[in-house]
Structure 1
């Protein structure tokens, strides 16, 4: 019984430690994100369009206006203060945007978040 419990604990620790590696490579949203503090209007509009924002050009312009008047954003949650971005819009685009690092704008390699084939939920509904 002790041996079974020990093996179960070891297996659980292994899965918790290394299981995320495969999970992280499965979802490619990290390959292509716009830094809202440094991206151009065209780059922001492209990523907003990938997130299915209807008026991506106008929202991109609003983000630039907001960052010029308020300074650099420290969290993507601050985008909720930008005109044209409500909670629904934010949920559509938050995986495409970041506040640090370079903008990774490679239209050939950037793919849209998709539904998980194992669990059946859309990654756009994932909450961190």
Structure 2
């Protein structure tokens, strides 16, 4: 039951990060690649542009990056931001949660054996 709950919690965390806006001023190349229409080449171009020219002042400044035009920007507009927490913050919080989940999982097989022996006893009666 604890494993199911941990799986559900992880799924909810992943879903919440999918709907969170990615801060194009702080996102890593991998985070940018997670956006629709942004592959490794465009993500690297965004990171390089940001390193050379400083932070984006508006989402529209993304059009200055080579390979990103009006159509790509319109597809991304609802998924990106220039301020606030990037989707990296929830991912970092997910790592510590995974470590405690491993400890109860080690104790769970012992309870599973007890549960398995109970139904066997009922069948014999």
Equivalent pairs, count: 75
Aligned counterpart in structure 1 of residue 43 of structure 2, from 60, 74, 90: 60
Q: In the TM superposition, what whole-angstrom CA distance separates every residue of 1:58-87 from its partner, at most 9, and x where no partner exists? A: 111000000000001110100000011010
List gaps (5 residues or longer) in structure 1.
1-27, 108-128
Moved over 3 A (4+): 28-31
- Unaligned 5+ residue runs, structure 2? 1-15, 92-125
Equivalent residues of 2:22, 2:32 under 8 A apart = yes
CA RMSD of aligned residues (A): 2.3
Supply the distance in 1 between the matched residues of 2:61 and 2:47 (Cα, whole angstroms).
13
1:104 is displaced (CA, Å) by: 2.3
Partner residue of 2:82 out of 85, 99, 108:
99
Q: Which structure's CA Rg is the greater one?
A: 2
Q: TM-score if structure 1 supplies the norm length?
A: 0.52
Is the aligned partner of 1:46 residue 2:29?
no
Q: 1:30 to 1:77 in 2, by over 3 A?
A: farther
